Amino acid sequence: MSLLKWARGIALSAMAVSAAALIAPAEAQQKKIKIGVIYDYTGPLAGGGSDLQALGAKIMIDHFIKQGGVEGYQIEAVYADAQSKPDVAINEAVRLVEQEKVDMLLGFYSSAQCVPVAARVEQLKKFMWITTCISSAVLENRNLKYVFRAQPSGKQFGLMSTDFLAKMSKEKLGKDPKDLKVAIIHEDGAYGVDVSKGNEEGSKKAGFQIVLKEGYAATAPDLSALVTKLRRARPDVILHTGYNPDISLFLRQAREGGLRFQALIGHGAGYGVYDKLKEALGTDVNHFFNVDPISIWLTNQKALTADLPPMIKMIGDEYEKAKPGTVLKSAHVGMAASNTYLFFTKVLPVAIKKHGGIDAEALRKAALEVDIPEGSTMLGFGVKFEGEGSPMAGQNDRGFPVVVQYIDDKATIVWPKSQAQRDAVLPLPATSPYAAK
């Protein structure tokens, strides 16, 4: 071989190596899913549960990052603060998609944010995985293709509490359902309105007397007028949907105003953050009820698939590291962690292996193929999303909440019977400052 040919061979080999070196980083870059994560880290919704939802999602994202990603795809998360404002949530979603070039969006606590954000993300043809916000209005009759929610809907929350109450009315309160007087009060955003619709529908079905139904602004500085109306209406049971601090404000003013009732049933959000309730109200929260997806720390782990109990322990350990000294682990952390885990284990792998990647269409097809029975999520329920043509396209029709009761710094499931850990304590005992005299 001549020196010239040898030199040319070396040059060609060097070019090939250089080309391969250029291609390799490009391929490595392509093997990554970039996820935009939006919660409220500031503003009133942060302390009302959004920061705990954010913690649960981050624990799970960090876990899969440490595991090296999913099916050869590295995971990169870009976090954004919605600041408890719908307009900021929309702007952040658009920024993440158009400037940060995220492949999808995950998170969202407030239904008032979810409703407009879902429409905007759909316009952008990006995939949106909702871990939290429950309003039916997010999905109902909107024919969204790329928005999915594993959570039960707000209407299901409202119906669960009235179903529970209908079964307890005669046995615990000594009244036929037709003689039971209920008041339905709620923050007037998408979340509160949706749950209240379920409350109203369930109350009418049970035959309850609805003596008051009223919404209020979650940012209201004074709820004493509402307390006065409730005193006049004299309900046996109050069905309340709110955030925080409006819940704390209402209950403080209710005590000061001498409002009395036999039971109070809350519906997630602020009622799901026990430590905040306890901080604001002390032992006054004893014997209140809350409707929410089951806390992962209360599920019957023997009824779950084998991969889930170790994950629940890991989440609990990380929760304790992030918030040492927590009195009662909030269902919010486990809720977001479970729904995030569902995406990484049941949707993303199928999109990559079966549908060719991580674009919105591949993720949509994978989500629609999820078909798992009860006991297959940390929240206990199964998952099957409603598809195109359904009034609730994108909704998991196998999700369900439970009713828990707070007694002496413990949350215990009291309904439905299949999940109950003890009998409900009704009416409020005489030691409660709200107990009917």
Domain ranges in the chain are: 33-152+303-384, 155-292+401-415
Q: Which two tokens stand for residue 140?
A: 């109902």
| pLDDT score recorded for residue 433 | 95
Residue 214 CA to residue 230 CA, distance in Å, equals: 10
Between CA 148 and CA 153, with CA 151 as vertex, the angle to 5 degrees is 95
Sheet-wide strand order for 104-107: 74-81, 32-39, 104-107, 127-130, 147-149
Give mean pLDDT, residues 383-403.
Answer: 94
| pLDDT score recorded for residue 11 | 44
Give mean pLDDT, residues 80-106.
Answer: 98
Domains 33-152+303-384 and 155-292+401-415 share a fold: yes
Residue 332 has pLDDT above 70, yes or no: yes
Angle between helices 51-66 and 331-342 (to 10 degrees): 40
Is the pTM above the cut of 0.85?
Answer: no
What pLDDT, in 10s, does the model give residues 200-259? 999 999 999 999 999 999 999 999 999 999 999 999 999 999 988 899 999 999 999 999
CATH 3.30.420.40 fits 155-292+401-415, yes or no: no
pLDDT band at 166 (very low <50, low <70, confident <90, very high): very high
What pLDDT, in 10s, does the model give residues 334-385? 999 999 999 999 999 999 999 999 999 999 999 999 999 989 999 999 999 9
CATH 3.40.50.880 fits 33-152+303-384, yes or no: no
300 SS3 class: coil
Structure letter (DSSP) for residue 346: I
Residue 340 CA to residue 58 CA, distance in Å, equals: 9
**Mean model confidence pLDDT for the chain:** 91
What is the distance in angstroms between the CA of the first residue and the CA of the last residue of the chain? 107
